[in-house]
Each structure stands twice: as structure tokens, then as C-alpha cells.
Structure 1
Amino acid sequence: MKILKYLLLFVLVIVVGGAVYLASLDGKYEVSRSCTINAPLSMTFNTVNEFKTWGEWGPWKEKDSSIVYYFPAITSGENGSYTWTGTDPKKGMIRNVSVSQNKEILQKIKMDDYEESDIYWNFEAVENGTKITWGIKGEMPFLVRWMAESMDEKIGPMYDRGFELLEEYLQGKMNEHSVVYSGEVDYGGGFYVYLSTSCTFDQVPQKMEEMMPKIHKYVKENGIITSGYPFTVYHKWDEDNHTTMFSVGIPVRERVKTNGTVLVGFQKRVKTAKFTSKGAYKYGGDAWMFGFKTLEEKGLKIPEGAEPFEVYLTSPMTTENPADYVTEIYLPVE
């Protein structure tokens, strides 16, 4: 009997000691990671805000291939949510409790039978893209308070990997591009103001970046009424010497007086083969090659001395995702 009493006393000491030890622990934890992602602010924010994208870039699938996602009617903005089932945890849920566009997202997460924890996202536009912070904070149940100290070690690397996958996902979306043949159309018939230059092929992008803002500024400062989208017309294209002469212009409602380097021209109505390119400007060369190949396949010829041109339906100033840039290419045909 004495042995039993001593054993019970020993167990009691262990229990009391353990309780005292656990009571001395805080049990609260907070883990956060930050990085700069090479993607526009609103695109990054909108991707995180839309739970349907989480299965594409979330790091959890790499550790648990059995995860299945379930999406309700609302998956973004306040009250947006999603649930999942898996191996560990067996079930979980995340919901948005507060969303401040392009600034902050506050969420609640619940896994298995544990208490809810708080997740927070902060977003800030920086020179190289978007600075993003991803954090979680909560409190461990009394009996496992000791696990709070190890939460950074468990969650931190997963968040780091999540940032890597998120950037890969965003870069993939930004590099999406396509071009389609839109048929033969008659185009033109109006005045336009323009700037011209000659340069080597590799200087074209830089020259355009310099000239387009100048022509827009001239139009705005002189109160000129425009009548269409900005464009570039290629007057000469010398493959042997890798040089070109081109103009950037903006259609205007009527003939206007100009001064300095800005000139006014008139575009005659011309029969063209039209191609619609969607995607970053760096894929423009592919779109033009597609156009020339299509003309060849259809037996269409560009008249001697004709001047192909492209029209920009979107602007990088107002369209953040390069994959959404829309350019119309017009190749004059006989």
C-alpha cells in the first residue's frame, strides 16, 4: 500500500509540476514573413484575395497531396472563404473578416478542433513590384502551450515557400500571350499628330518609351481633341542593316497647327489584314511573325512601299498586368 501511495504521490507531483510549468508559459505565438514580389500591387493583392487561386500557389499541396479544396459562392472580399480536407490537418477553413483594397487582408483560420487563429496580409507598392507580409498569430491550448515556441520553425519555411510559388504563379499569368487573325478590314482616313525617328532594331523599345509620353503631353497641353488610340507606323524596315524609321502618333479630330518636332499627317484609308495580339509588348515580334506567316499561307501580299502599323488599345499606365495589353496589328494588303 505504501508503494501505491508513493506512486500516486509521484504522479500527483508530476501533474502539478506539469500544470505549474504550463501555466508559466505564455502560449501565444506570432509568425510572419515578408518579401518583395516582382508583380504589380493590384494584381498581387487580387490574387491573394481570391481563394480560388490558392490551390495554384499555396505551399500545402507539396506536403499533403491528399488535400481537396471546397469553394462556396463567395471566395473573395469580406466574408469570402474556402474549406479543405486532408491528412494533417484533416479539415480546415479560412475566411476573410476584413479587406482593404491593395493594403490589407485580415482572416480567420480554423484547423481540426483547434481554436481559431488570426492571419494577416499587408501589401505595399515598391520600386521592384510589391512588398508583401504574411503573418499568423494565436494562442495554443493549455496542454500544448509548449508548442508555441516552435511555431516559427514550423510555419515560417512554409510561408517562404508560399511566396516563391506565388511569384511563379503571378509571373506565369503576366507572361500569357496570344495572337489571332481578325480578317481583312479597311482602316484609316483621318488626321494625326506624330513624332518620327530612325534607329536600330534594338533601340526601338527605348525610343517608343521616350516618344509616346511626349506626344501625349503635347496633345494634352495644346487641348487637341483626339479621335482614336495611339499607334506606331513603320515607314522603313531594313533587315540588312537592322535599322528602321517609324513614327508614333495619335489620331485627331481635325487638322491642327503644330510646331517644333511634332508634325501633323493624314492617313489614307487602306485595305489591311488585321491581327489582334494580347500580351506583353516583348511578345510583339512573335505576333508580327504570325501575321507575315498568315499572309503567306493565305496568298496575300503587302504592296511595295506600304507602311504596316500597330494600334495600342490599352496603356501600361492604366493596365497593370502585361498579359492584358491589347495591340492591333495592321498589314496593308493588295
Structure 2
Amino acid sequence: MRIVKYLFLLFLLSLVALSIFIATQKGEFRVEKSMIINSQKSTAFSYANELKNWEDWYSLAVEDSLLNIKYSNKTVGRGSFCSWEGKEGYGDLKIINLKENDNILQKINFNGNSADVLMVFKDTLGKTKVTLNAKGKMNFTSKIWTLFYDIDHSIGFIFEKSLTNLDKKLDYEINTYNVNINGVVKKLEAFYLAQKFTSKFSNIGKNSRIVFSKITTFCNENNIKVNGKPFVIYHTYDTINKQSKISVCIPITTPIFISQGSEILSDTLKSFEAVKTTLRGDYTHTIKALKKTSEYFKKNNLKLDSKFSHLEVYSIGKNEINSPSKWKTEIYFPLRPKIVYKKPALNTVTTEKTVPKPIQEMVNKKPAVNPVTTEKTVPKPIQEKEIPSEF
């Protein structure tokens, strides 16, 4: 019996010693992995900066079919947040800082472990070197697991698979597109709410998403019914300075009055004739759609109206589907109205031929007697004088 007690006591002492050993082990880790992907830096940054794309390339999300992800209202840029639960555990992710087209800093919690993950983007001759750098702390359970496997190797393997997924996803989703010229159409009148501002080409997508969200919230708070897909009016399109003056618009059923001084304006888009072009694919191919439409104008001797550059309607976008290759953008280019010339009416001159009457008829004809008429003199109307107004 004493032997059993001694063995049990030895087991307890060993367990305590092991616990102390594990607890005193270094709980910090740092892992870094890089890969060159076949996409431009701005494209890769924009794709990674959208949290809704995270589930399509990050290996933990891709490989977990039971993963349930919840997103914050804002899913792009600083402050965007998501949380998840799946067969591998639970966690959350938040973008805490970023530098446009350069890096994204995320805070990740996974099964009680926390880490700061810095994602860095660098140009490499038309491609992009993407680096994932994680620095974090393990909880007690994770420290136990490190007795059996190398955590740096495990996280590194996750990063490698994630970067491979990112490259494949971007290569297909971003580079798959189609541009179709639909021809001349009639764009119908529409009422809308909008915010107008000037933006660099590179920031239009991000700024538009922010304003779309703001106007949609305004509509929900004021019970304003949305009537169609969001659109952007490009009032100017300056290819030299790479900037545009735009109106980010949400269509509504009826016009409303908004008090002066508000950032959000209410306006009406009058109906107009336009050349319609449909782009299926990522928004980065918009420039190809503009070029193809310009060629169509020249080929058909059409003139662009100067009222604005063009209008983009986002029929299928990020809110409907997460795959850029399936997005649909309808672009309208206003046509200059044709001038119709009316030909002046021509007066027809007719020549009558005088036929001489028979002599006998002229002899027998009695002279015409002019009847006497009595004219009644009508007094001239009196000219009214204008009476000066008292006002």
C-alpha cells in the first residue's frame, strides 16, 4: 500500500515539476514567411485589405468547411473586424493599422493565443513580394503542445499555404474579365442621394465603399427606400493628374428635401442617351473598358456629351459575391444630342396660260356696274394709359 502511495506522490511531484517547467518556458514566438505572387502591389493590397476575402485565401479558413465567420459592418481598412468558430477552434481578427499599398497590421486571437501579424507588400518587377510576419504569445495549453511539435514550423506551414492560396486566388479572380459594348441605350431618369468629392484614382474604390455605407445607413435611419444598385458619376476624369471629381450615389424611389449644410445631397439624374459598356471582372479592368468604348466612339463617329465623363452602376459587386471575376459593372457614356436641321419650305410658282375669249362673247358682254357701298365710320380705340403701381 505504501508503494502505491509513494508512486502516486511521485506522480504528483512529477506533474508539478512538469507544470513549473512548462510555465517557465519561453511563451513567445516569431515566424516570418514570404512569397512572390503574380499580381501588382496595389491589387494584392486591396484584396488583402478586404476582410471578406480572408476566408478565400487564409488556410485555416479555406480548409475548415464548418467555419462560421461574422463580420463587422466595416470590413475594409483600420478598425474592420471579424470573428469565427470552426472545427479547429475559435478566434477573431482586427486590422489595427495600415499604410496604403504598403502594409497591414492585424491583431489575431486564436484558441487563447494572441499575435500581431504584419503583412508587407513590395514591388518586384510587376509582381509583388508578400511577407507574413507573426509575433505573439502562447497560452499554457499551447506550451504543452510545443513539447511534441515545433510551433514555428506549424505557423510557418500555415503561412506558406495561405500565401499560395492568395497567389492562386488573385491570379484567377483578378485576371479573369470580359468587356462587352452593348451599344446605344436610353438611361432612364433616377432620383438619388449622393456625396460629391475629388479623389485620386487609386483611392476611389476605398472612398466609394465608405460613402456607400454612410448613405445606406442614412437611408435606414430615415426610412428612405433604396431603389436599385449603387452608382458613381464621374464628373471629370483627369488622366494626367490621375484624379476625378465624383458623386457616390444611392438611388431612391422619390426625391426628398435635405437641409442645407449636409454632406449628403438629394438630386435627380435626367434621362439621357448613352453608349453602354458592361465589364465583368475586377474593377482594375475599368481602364480597359474605357479604352474599348473610346474606340467604339471613334469607329461610329459618336460624340461624348460634356455634362459628365461617365457613370458606373455596380450591378453585382462585393456585397453580392466575393469573387471579383463574377462582378458586373455597367458603364454609361452620355451621347451628345444630335442637331436636326429643317429644310426651308419652297414656294411653288405656277404659270397660268391666258386663253383669249371669243370675240362675240366680248361684244355681247355688258359693262359691269360697280355697286355703291356705304362705309360705316368706326371710332378709333382709345389707348389705355398704364396706371402706376403702388408697389
Residue by residue, what CA displacement relative to the aligned partner does 1:250-306 show, whole Å, maximum 9, x if unpaired? xxxxxxxxxxxxxxxxxxxxxxx967364759x99xx89xx9xxxxxxxxxxxxxx9
TM-score, reference length from structure 2: 0.47
Q: List aligned pairs for 1:82-121, cutoff 5 A.
A: 82-89=82-89, 91-112=90-111, 114-121=112-119
Higher relative contact order (CA 8 A, sep 6+): 1
C-alpha separation in 1, matches of 2:51 and 2:123: 22
Q: List aligned pairs for 1:52-91, cutoff 5 A.
A: 52-89=52-89, 91=90
Residue by residue, what CA displacement relative to the aligned partner does 1:210-265 show, whole Å, maximum 9, x if unpaired? xxxxxxxxxxxxxxxxxx999xxxxxxxxxxxxxxxxxxxxxxxxxxxxxxxxxxx
Q: Which residue of 1 aligns with 2:256?
A: none
3-state DSSP of counterpart to 1:116: strand
Aligned-pair CA distance for 1:85: 1.7
Aligned-pair CA distance for 1:37: 1.3
Q: Structure 1 residues 184, 146: CA separation in 2 closer, same or farther (over 3 Å shift)?
A: closer
Q: Structure 1 residues 128, 147: CA separation in 2 closer, same or farther (over 3 Å shift)?
A: farther
Give unpaired runs (5+ residues) of structure 1. 186-227, 231-272, 292-305, 315-320, 329-334
C-alpha separation in 1, matches of 2:54 and 2:119: 14
Q: Structure 1 residues 179, 76: CA separation in 2 closer, same or farther (over 3 Å shift)?
A: same
TM-score, reference length from structure 1: 0.54
Q: Which residue of 2 aligns with 1:125?
A: 123
C-alpha separation in 1, matches of 2:70 and 2:44: 22
Q: List aligned pairs for 1:167-186, cutoff 5 A.
A: 167-171=167-171, 172-183=173-184
Aligned-pair CA distance for 1:23: 4.7
3-state DSSP of counterpart to 2:150: helix
Q: Which residue of 2 aligns with 1:194?
A: none
Question: 8 Å contact 2:68–2:84 — kept in the other structure?
Answer: yes
Question: 8 Å contact 1:31–1:155 — kept in the other structure?
Answer: yes
Question: 8 Å contact 1:36–1:128 — kept in the other structure?
Answer: no
The ranges of structure 1 where at least 4 consecutive aligned residues each deviate by more than 3 angstroms after the TM superposition are 146-149, 273-281, 306-311, 321-324
Question: 8 Å contact 2:55–2:62 — kept in the other structure?
Answer: no
How many residue pairs get aligned? The number is: 219
3-state DSSP of counterpart to 1:75: coil
Give unpaired runs (5+ residues) of structure 2. 187-236, 240-273, 304-308, 311-323, 334-391
Amino acid at match of 1:59: S
C-alpha separation in 1, matches of 2:299 and 2:74: 50
Aligned-pair CA distance for 1:166: 1.4
C-alpha separation in 1, matches of 2:22 and 2:302: 71
C-alpha separation in 2, matches of 1:31 and 1:46: 24
Q: Which has the higher helix share?
A: 1
Moved more, 45-54 or 138-147: 138-147
Aligned-pair CA distance for 1:84: 1.4
Aligned-pair CA distance for 1:126: 1.8
3-state DSSP of counterpart to 1:25: coil
Amino acid at match of 2:182: Y
Provide the identity percentage: 24
Residue by residue, what CA displacement relative to the aligned partner does 1:44-99 show, whole Å, maximum 9, x if unpaired? 1111111011122232344210112211112121111111121111x221001111
Question: 8 Å contact 1:38–1:130 — kept in the other structure?
Answer: yes
Which protein shows a greater Rg? 2
C-alpha separation in 2, matches of 1:181 and 1:34: 43
